[in-house]
């Protein structure tokens, strides 16, 4: 740290002092940012886990329904039933800003507003298990979207927290000590210079006086 | 206007077609990678991918984890839950905090 060459001038000293002030302020701000991000992240990640467990349980249930449905129907019948989907989902993506992290917010629109209008097949040739399966999936969709939103937000925030943490650490453990050492070095160097100038002046004064009054001769 | 996609083994995903999601059946990592890339370049904001399918292309998925879109979400497929989805959540905690302080306890 101290072996970094610093020119020992007053200009450099002022520059370093100013830099130290800015760095300290930046460090404090970044630390606050990190703490707040962390607080929000932790609550969000808990939601994320809960949602995920819910979605996974729901998917497992609906997968079971699908397997049941498939077991009572022929492969072709199932394929025909799903050939032309009736429903269409589109997403509107907006942004939310949490502590300077842009987080996508999804809003979904279905083509038909009737939530029961999801069966893309006539009921005559399909088993009722298939209806159950489709229903359970469609009930799950809002949660799945919520999960997508939360999980993405968590990923983005985790990345941002990591970045911020690195910055905080770099400031705290490298930049600030380095600057402080630089300031100390320059101050000492300048003090040293001042003392040597003082001594030199005293010596010169002595010599001048000696020349004018010849003290040493008189003493002898 | 964005769309939602789901990719994975066709057995796991065909049901989502009724909900209006676009289904992309894939059965090997190469085609999965190609499909995912295609989806990310087009207007898909959310891509659900089955855990089995995702296991082969983890690198590709990680590439998008710091991008705003698409959100790539692992879901369990019809062949059972591998726990990768939950592990991913723990991983992001680990990335943020340094170690998994929240879910470390309830791992099986």
CB–CB of A56 and B12 under 8 A? no
Provide, as residue numbers in chain A, all residues whose Cβ is less than 8 Å from the Cβ of B13. Answer: none
ipTM given for this complex: 0.86
Half-sphere exposure of A206 (CA within 13 A, CB side): 7
Whether chain A has a CB inside 8 Å of the CB on B81: the answer is yes
For the segment A72-83, the average pLDDT, to the nearest whole number, is 76
Paired residues of A209 in beta bridges: none
Whether residues A56 and B96 touch (CB distance < 8 A) is answered with no
- Interchain CB contact of B24 with A (< 8 Å): no
The residue segments making up the domain with residue B54 are 3-79
Q: What is the average per-residue pLDDT within A38-62?
A: 90
Domains of chain A: which residue ranges?
20-168
Residue A3 has what pLDDT? Answer: 55
CATH code of the domain covering residue B63? 3.40.50.10580
Q: What's the rounded mean pLDDT across residues B64-76?
A: 86
**pLDDT tens profile B15-60:** 888 887 888 888 888 888 888 888 888 888 899 998 888 888 888 8
Collect all residues of chain A within an 8 Å Cβ-Cβ radius of residue B12.
63
Q: Tell me if B89 is assigned to some domain.
A: no
Helices (H), A73-115: 75-81
In a domain, B97, yes or no: no
Long-range contacts of B33-42 (CB under 8 A, 24+ apart): B33/B57, B33/B60, B35/B7, B36/B7, B36/B60, B36/B61, B36/B72, B39/B5, B39/B7, B39/B70, B40/B64, B40/B70, B42/B3
CATH of A20-168, picked from 3.40.50.300, 1.10.287.3240, 1.10.1240.10, 3.30.2350.10, is 1.10.287.3240
Query: Who among A56, A59, A89 is closest to B20 (CB)?
Result: A89
A191, containing H or E segment: helix A176-213
Position with higher pLDDT, A93 vs A77: A93
Whether B26 maps to a domain, the answer reads yes
Percent of chain B whose pLDDT exceeds 70: 95
* Residue at B33 is within a domain: yes
pTM score, whole prediction: 0.82
pLDDT at B108: 41
Residue-wise pLDDT tens digits, A175-199: 999 999 999 999 999 999 999 999 9
Subunit contact A156:B95, Cβ cutoff 8 A? no
Chain A residues inside the 8 Å CB shell of B4: 89, 91, 108, 145
Q: What is the mean pLDDT of residues A13-22?
A: 95
**Taking CB atoms and an 8 Å limit, are A158 and B95 in contact across chains?**
yes
Pairing of β A101-110 and β B3-8: unpaired
Residue of B nearest to A154 (CA): B92
Judge whether B65 is closer than 8 Å to chain A, CB to CB.
Answer: yes
> In this structure, are residues A165 and A27 in contact, taking their beta carbons and an 8 Å threshold?
no
* Binary contact (B14, A111; C-beta < 8 A): no
């Amino acid at each position: 740290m101290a072996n970094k060459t610093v020119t020992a001038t007053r200009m450099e000293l002022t520059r370093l002092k100013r830099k130290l002030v800015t760095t300290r302020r930046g460090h404090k701000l970044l630390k606050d940012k990190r703490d707040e991000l962390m607080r929000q992240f932790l609550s969000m990640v808990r939601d994320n886990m809960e949602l995920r467990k819910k979605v996974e349980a729901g998917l497992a249930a609906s997968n079971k329904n699908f397997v049941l449905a498939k077991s009572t129907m022929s492969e072709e019948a199932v394929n025909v039933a799903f050939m032309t989907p009736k429903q269409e989902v589109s997403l509107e993506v907006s942004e939310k800003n949490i502590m300077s992290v842009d987080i996508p917010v999804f809003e979904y629109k279905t083509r038909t507003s009737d939530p029961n209008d999801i069966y893309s097949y006539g009921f005559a040739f399909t088993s009722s298990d298939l209806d159950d399966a489709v229903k359970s999936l469609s009930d799950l969709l809002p949660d799945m979207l919520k999960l997508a939103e939360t999980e993405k937000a968590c990923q983005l925030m985790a990345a941002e927290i990591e970045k911020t943490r690195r910055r905080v650490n770099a400031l705290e453990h490298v930049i600030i000590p380095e600057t402080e050492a630089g300031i100390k070095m320059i101050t000492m160097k300048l003090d040293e210079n001042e003392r040597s100038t003082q001594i030199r002046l005293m010596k010169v004064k002595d010599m001048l006086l000696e020349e004018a009054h010849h003290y040493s001769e008189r003493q002898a | 206007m964005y769309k939602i996609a789901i990719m994975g083994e066709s057995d796991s995903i065909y049901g989502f077609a009724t909900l209006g999601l676009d289904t992309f059946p894939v059965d090997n990592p190469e085609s999965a990678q190609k499909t995912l890339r295609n989806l990310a370049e087009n207007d898909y904001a959310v891509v659900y991918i089955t855990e089995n399918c995702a296991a082969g292309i983890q690198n590709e998925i990680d590439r998008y984890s710091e991008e705003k879109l698409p959100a790539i979400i692992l879901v369990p497929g019809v062949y059972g839950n591998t726990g990768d989805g939950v592990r991913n959540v723990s991983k992001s905690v680990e990335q943020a905090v340094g170690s998994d302080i929240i879910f470390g306890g309830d791992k099986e």
